[in-house]
Structure 1
Amino acid sequence: MAVGKLFEPSEIRKTVHALKNDGDLFEIRCLEANGKKVSSGYFHDTETMVKQLCKLNPTESNIYIVLNDIKQECYSREQRDYFVVNSKIQTSDNDIVGYDWLFIDVDPRRPSGISSTEEQLRYAKCIGNKIYSFMRNLGFNEPVSAMSGNGIHLLYRIQLRNNDENKALVKNCLAALDMYFSDEAVSIDKSNYNPARICKLYGTMARKGSNTPENPHRMSYLISEGSKIPTDKAYLEKLAAMLPVPEKPRQYNGYNPQEFDLEEWLIKHGLRYQKTSYSDGTKYILEQCPFDSNHKGKDACIFQSRSGAIGFHCFHNSCSDKTWRDVRILYEPDAYEKKQQEYERRIYSRQPVQQQVKVIQPIHGKPVFYTAQDIMNLPVPEERFIKTGIADIDKKLRGMKKGYVSVMSGLRAAGKSSVISEMVLDGVESGNNIGVFSGELAPKNFMRWMNLQAAGKGYTEPTQFEGYYNVQRKYQEQIATWLDKKFWLYNNEYGFNFQAVADQFKRKIEKDKLDLLILDNLMTFDISDMSDNKFEAQTKFILTLQGEIAKPYNVHILFVAHPRKAMGFLRLDDISGTADLGNAVDNAFIVHRVNSDFKRLSKQMFGWKDDNPIYGATNVIEIAKDRDNGTMDYFIPLYYEVETKRLKNSQSENKIYGWNTTNDGFLEVSQEEIPFD
């Protein structure tokens, strides 16, 4: 028997090793092309399965494997360790313990019963690469990738129980991918969500129709084995949430959202498009993105499902957060606020009563007392804010205000260093220049930590030491190029005298237009020449930061101060140093680690219950003082990621920094990393 023409045993062994763990039960099915004969066998051992497959001699069959985790009891069925033809029972959805895989099948569209052409397969590879980059951008771990014989497979390792909720989640993930990537030439198979789903056993021949030069039979094969670490459920939920949700009946949609004429709206507002369909509705591929005219081709699309739900997506990183609501507001600013605006027009249409204000003779033309009108006409001081990347700080405080001084504190290992280096990266990402003094970390150590955070998931690799990760040199070089002329780290070899260091930073601010200055930490500075009294010296330190650097140079200064030993829950008054510190600074932040002490003490102080969502975080940053808005005792949950040392806003967050994007905003993926090229 010419086994090589039917299947490749070595390739089958690689496939089972990639898809199954040692000791897992798996089912192999051989389906004859005419559908009249199905052979099924359950196996624990790959060698036993290969021997039985050779005996079966499946000359006209296509061979598949059940992907997900089968209950061990199924091993006692009649087809134990050999193939049974037309067996009465095969693996059903109820026989599956849980989902091991999110199975993405990029399948060329063609008449049923024939193999794909070479041109169709090449296009499937192109779409497979786009999905690979898209999923990596979302934060998914590396997939198992394969050529199925007629198309491209991407299998992402997951770990979900077999229940209705997770079944719906997987179904919605595939529906979102279908919406984004299916077109007139390829489709993303939406049916691959059922727990007992079968998949091509790679290393076996794919036979559909006649084996012709135009539509040849091909041997399927594994391309990459992917990550052994399951992608967290939060990333699947993020993907599924990209499906548009039908609007509720409202005034702006005529109380009938299903009848909203999207195509008429596009024509009315001059948006040029190509119209095509996907399995659940209509796709309008825009000539250019509404938010950036440089984003052309098939980069931006508006979708309308059969339910009437409308969605928008641009594949460029800079527009990835934009939604259909953002698109509509761009062209109809009042679309969602007409009722409120009508109310405001009624209220504010009343003429204000002019007040006669008596003032004494002003000096230099300035009034002794300001009226509201005077204040309204005063020049508005320019305000600029530096984004921190911590969503709630950027929302509540608008970021770090230039000209202000902030203090950050926290117990040892609370996460202060992670927050600081991420603030550097997010500051640079938003176009700012940043200087850093790190009194406790050598330059190599500071940069190693920041390289991990800049790289992100998919660009770090484990070492022989548990919990210790590295970034390849080629990525370090790209990160360094991106940070060049935007980030500067003070060289500690020049000493720690505060006044000398401050003088150097003033020069640096003038020369390179720094926007943010980070000083880590107060205790490493030599401030003894400012006063013989420790607390008086610390007061002068803060006043110097405010009066001599922050305000005159219009730069935000964030410095770190260690707390004193606190008996209870760490508060602003516990920060080490002068009693004036809390009053003197403009903003104050406290970083907490969510451990047993944090939970116990926070319950005592705030009366929080065990089910408080904050306890689901790994770290918390507290806004303890906010001079402008008065925010205090506001706790922001953060989630630590071991591989990258990032503290994330949500478990599924995966930031892509500028070193890893092209000039047009696309995720940059090196050619050798894309599995299908």
Structure 2
Amino acid sequence: MTYDEDEIRKAISIMKNQNDLFEVRIVASSKKNISGYFRDAETCINALRAAHINDNCNVYITLNGIRDECYSRQQRDRFMNNVTPTTTDSDIDLYTWFLIDIDPVRAAGTSSSEEQIVLAKKKSNEVYLFMKQTGFEEPIVGFSGNGVHLLYSVGLAVNEENKKLVKDCLAVLSLFFSDDKVSVDTANFNPARVCKLYGTLAQKGANTQERPHRMSYIVQAPEKAKQNDKALLQKLAGYLPVPDKPQGYNRFNPREFDLDQWLDGHGLHYTKASYGSGTKYILEHCPFDENHTGKDACIFKMSNGAIGFHCFHNSCADKTWQDVRRLYEPDAYDRQYVREERRPNYQNPNYVVEKKTEVRMVDGQPVFLTTEQIRLMEEPPEEFIKTGVDVIDQKMRGLKKGFVTCLSGLRAAGKSSIISQLTIEAVQQGYRTALFSGELKPKNLLKWLTLQAAGKAYVKETQYDNYYVVPEPYGEVISKWMDGKVYVYNNYYGNEFSSIMDQIRKCVVEHKVDLVILDNMMALNLMEMGSDRYQQQSHFVECLENFAKAANVHILFVAHPRKSVGFLRLDDVSGSNDIVNRVDNAFILHRVNNDFKRLTKDMFKWKDDNPLYQSTNVIEICKDRDGGVQDEFIPLFFEDSTKRLRNSPGENKIYPWKEEMARLFENDKGEFKAVPLEEELPFD
């Protein structure tokens, strides 16, 4: 039997922790089953030497955590022929690896051709990039001899829920990537699954020139594989289509809804292909962006009638089949109510409301306004800047232009993170931000912005704990994407508030700024605003209010709280209560630590199982003048590598800086420079 001892040592050291129990199983062409249990690579290799197996065979290793008592089976530290039992699902106590097996479609009992290997490698790059952008950590990449393995570190208890989760994740990947030439194996969900022991020869069928036997090996592996959160797997499984619930108003029945007819009727051109028990409709272009062509956008119909949609471009990644249908049938999911027309019922039926077509002014502004005068007043249409915090954007619609927001929180609560995150969100929406930072130097501020815009797929860990950088060319691409949309005040010109406001007014006019951020009030010199501190801060907020309305911008400022012995409340915000009384919105950012848990239990009588305690930070909506939302606590999850405060542990938002790469890197001759943003797996 041919094998590479060094490669086997490498594989076991990467895939298994010290003293982990694993089974190696040798399957011969004669269907003879040879098994051994081991705890270290050297004992395993010594047993291989002693086995003297000459038949064509393939060698496999168990992926997941085996119960320790299995080490007492008779094949302990040696190989035995046709021995039972071998590892079954009931012997596994932990999913440690999520295996994606990408294999060419070929006749059973044959090795892959060179052309098929090329296709498998290309497909594995597509899957690898998709997983990276979804938020998964770097995998072990293995060449099985006939295809490619991507192994992602996980830590899931073995139960039916997690078994279904893994199964659904593989179904999604097959749905997205399998075709008639290369497939993602959907059978690798059972806990006792084995995979190729890298460093051994893959021997399927005859060893021919067209389809040779090849050595398996590890292509690349992280120095220490980082465990992926279960939330990422749940996010991936969430792409699996589920049937629409049939309702009279949505005109949908999984047995009667003719998807082909619907697509043809709305002029969507597609290529039809089968996969498993379903059908894939590869669209000529994405319904939401005609530039997304090729195989970028697909509609899927499952055997149970469920319909799904996915576009692999970041800007459309969150779109669903329901979004596609609404694009062509806006009322497809809206309930239709028939309203009976009612006649007016006035106490005085002879009273007639005088209809006014214009507002009449006598001696300037009227003392009292009629409702019609108010209605006919000209005001800018309501406009909201999304924050990226889902609950705020759902309940408050975002940050309203013309309004002023106060943000407070104790030290290290995450205020700098949320501020730079708001700036990135504004950039993504096409808004411009003017930012004063009294605490962060411009270089540090840019570093935070760049880390958050990059996302963990494009940051690099350094030798220092929790210190990450964005390597080139990504840093330059991101900076150019933000350039002209973010304006940072140069602290060289001092911190006198009136002078800063003069410059902000100019910046707003010259650069059409929509969002102004002042971090923080305590770093501003307010001496000329009044004789005492409370008067200064009251006039400060009044000045911001007047400017926000006049310029139709949203202004957010940070105010540090006074020292508080209890749980931080709005009344603890530094200075006068006039601050929080006058602003339109007020948020408090909390860090979820032992003090937070103790104080909230004292004040709100929360229980230990409160889901907020599972988060790292909480942002509290204390005041919402427009919608009346208050006392709303929103969990957030801090990510060390990117300084992001995420809506969930599995969130990995992708900003569109990559899609604008070519435009940003146009050279002096009007030509586009090639910038290698898409990493490829380093196959030989």
TM class, shorter-chain normalised? over 0.9
What is the CA-CA distance between 1:262 and the residue it aligns to? 1.4
Q: Which amino acid in structure 1 is aligned with residue 322 of structure 2?
A: R
Distance 1:372 1:675, change over 3 A: farther
Distance 1:389 1:584, change over 3 A: same
Q: Deviations over 1:450-472 (max 9, x none)?
A: 33322222333333333333333
Q: Deviations over 1:601-646 (max 9, x none)?
A: 3334334333332222211111111121111111111111122221
8 Å CA contact 1:70, 1:97 repeated in 2:
yes
What is the CA-CA distance between 1:296 and the residue it aligns to? 1.1
What is the CA-CA distance between 1:531 and the residue it aligns to? 1.9
What is the CA-CA distance between 1:674 and the residue it aligns to? 3.6
8 Å CA contact 1:145, 1:675 repeated in 2:
no
- Residue from 171, 193, 196 that aligns with 2:192: 196
After superposition, where does 1:92-103 map in structure 2 within 5 Å?
A: 92-103=88-99
Alignment partners' CA distance in 1, 2:509 and 2:151:
53
- Residue from 591, 594, 607 that aligns with 1:593: 591
Instruction: Report the counterpart of residue 320 of structure 1 in structure 2.
Output: 317
Q: Which amino acid in structure 2 is aligned with residue 649 of structure 1?
A: N
Q: Which amino acid in structure 1 is aligned with residue 629 of structure 2?
A: T
Q: Which amino acid in structure 2 is aligned with residue 453 of structure 1?
A: Q
The yes-or-no answer on 1:279 pairing with 2:276 is yes
Distance 1:352 1:380, change over 3 A: farther
Could you say what the CA RMSD is over the residues aligned between the two structures, in angstroms?
A: 2.5
The yes-or-no answer on 1:477 pairing with 2:458 is no
Instruction: Report the counterpart of residue 265 of structure 1 in structure 2.
Output: 262
After superposition, where does 1:143-542 map in structure 2 within 5 Å?
A: 143-226=139-222, 227-252=224-249, 256-337=253-334, 340-343=335-338, 346-347=339-340, 356-357=352-353, 363-364=360-361, 379=378, 381-542=380-541
What is the CA-CA distance between 1:145 and the residue it aligns to? 0.6
Q: State the secondary structure of the residue aligned to 1:31.
A: strand
Normalised by the length of structure 2, the TM-score is 0.92
Q: State the secondary structure of the residue aligned to 2:416.
A: helix
Distance 1:121 1:25, change over 3 A: same
After superposition, where does 1:31-46 map in structure 2 within 5 Å?
A: 31-35=27-31, 37-46=32-41
Instruction: Report the counterpart of residue 617 of structure 1 in structure 2.
Output: 615
Q: State the secondary structure of the residue aligned to 1:312.
A: strand
What is the CA-CA distance between 1:596 and the residue it aligns to? 2.9
Instruction: Report the counterpart of residue 126 of structure 2 in structure 1.
Output: 130
Distance 1:285 1:554, change over 3 A: same
Alignment partners' CA distance in 2, 1:203 and 1:187:
24
Alignment partners' CA distance in 1, 2:462 and 2:28:
47
Q: Which amino acid in structure 2 is aligned with residue 432 of structure 1?
A: Y
Distance 1:569 1:505, change over 3 A: same
Structure 2 unpaired stretches of 5+: 664-674
Structure 1 unpaired stretches of 5+: none
8 Å CA contact 1:359, 1:369 repeated in 2:
no
8 Å CA contact 1:316, 1:664 repeated in 2:
no
Q: Deviations over 1:98-146 (max 9, x none)?
A: 1011100111111111111111111111111111111111111001111
8 Å CA contact 1:295, 1:664 repeated in 2:
no
Q: Which amino acid in structure 2 is aligned with residue 518 of structure 1?
A: I
Alignment partners' CA distance in 1, 2:266 and 2:614:
45
8 Å CA contact 2:250, 2:333 repeated in 1:
no
Distance 1:363 1:303, change over 3 A: closer
What is the CA-CA distance between 1:52 and the residue it aligns to? 2.1
Q: State the secondary structure of the residue aligned to 1:308.
A: coil
Instruction: Report the counterpart of residue 670 of structure 1 in structure 2.
Output: 677
What is the CA-CA distance between 1:656 and the residue it aligns to? 1.3
Alignment partners' CA distance in 2, 1:321 and 1:303:
15
Alignment partners' CA distance in 1, 2:540 and 2:250:
59
Distance 1:672 1:256, change over 3 A: closer
Alignment partners' CA distance in 2, 1:291 and 1:469:
35
Q: Which moved more, 1:16-25 or 1:370-379?
A: 370-379
Q: Deviations over 1:511-542 (max 9, x none)?
A: 22221111111111111122222211112211
8 Å CA contact 2:251, 2:332 repeated in 1:
no
Q: Deviations over 1:325-353 (max 9, x none)?
A: 1111111122222xx3242xx33587899
8 Å CA contact 1:594, 1:619 repeated in 2:
yes
Alignment partners' CA distance in 1, 2:354 and 2:221:
82
Q: State the secondary structure of the residue aligned to 1:653.
A: coil
Distance 1:362 1:543, change over 3 A: closer
Alignment partners' CA distance in 1, 2:528 and 2:374:
43
Distance 1:362 1:152, change over 3 A: closer
What is the CA-CA distance between 1:221 and the residue it aligns to? 1.4
Q: Which amino acid in structure 2 is aligned with residue 347 of structure 1?
A: E
Normalised by the length of structure 1, the TM-score is 0.93
8 Å CA contact 2:200, 2:216 repeated in 1:
yes
What is the CA-CA distance between 1:358 and the residue it aligns to? 5.3
8 Å CA contact 2:432, 2:486 repeated in 1:
yes
Instruction: Report the counterpart of residue 644 of structure 2 in structure 1.
Output: 646
- Residue from 116, 122, 135 that aligns with 1:139: 135
8 Å CA contact 2:249, 2:336 repeated in 1:
no
What is the CA-CA distance between 1:58 and the residue it aligns to? 3.6
Alignment partners' CA distance in 2, 1:144 and 1:491:
46
- Residue from 568, 571, 580 that aligns with 1:570: 568
Q: Which amino acid in structure 1 is aligned with residue 8 of structure 2?
A: I
Alignment partners' CA distance in 2, 1:359 and 1:215:
86
Instruction: Report the counterpart of residue 583 of structure 1 in structure 2.
Output: 581
8 Å CA contact 2:477, 2:661 repeated in 1:
no
Instruction: Report the counterpart of residue 602 of structure 1 in structure 2.
Output: 600
Q: State the secondary structure of the residue aligned to 1:136.
A: helix
Alignment partners' CA distance in 1, 2:130 and 2:103:
18
Q: Which amino acid in structure 2 is aligned with residue 501 of structure 1?
A: I
8 Å CA contact 1:30, 1:58 repeated in 2:
no
8 Å CA contact 1:133, 1:669 repeated in 2:
no
Alignment partners' CA distance in 1, 2:247 and 2:625:
39
Q: State the secondary structure of the residue aligned to 1:341.
A: coil
Q: State the secondary structure of the residue aligned to 1:347.
A: coil
8 Å CA contact 1:561, 1:575 repeated in 2:
yes
8 Å CA contact 1:99, 1:195 repeated in 2:
yes
What is the CA-CA distance between 1:210 and the residue it aligns to? 1.4
Alignment partners' CA distance in 2, 1:377 and 1:302:
47
Alignment partners' CA distance in 2, 1:359 and 1:81:
95
8 Å CA contact 1:259, 1:308 repeated in 2:
no
8 Å CA contact 1:129, 1:676 repeated in 2:
no
**Aligned length in residues:** 665
What is the CA-CA distance between 1:256 and the residue it aligns to? 3.8
Instruction: Report the counterpart of residue 545 of structure 1 in structure 2.
Output: 544
- Residue from 625, 631, 634 that aligns with 2:632: 634
Instruction: Report the counterpart of residue 108 of structure 1 in structure 2.
Output: 104
Q: Which amino acid in structure 2 is aligned with residue 645 of structure 1?
A: K
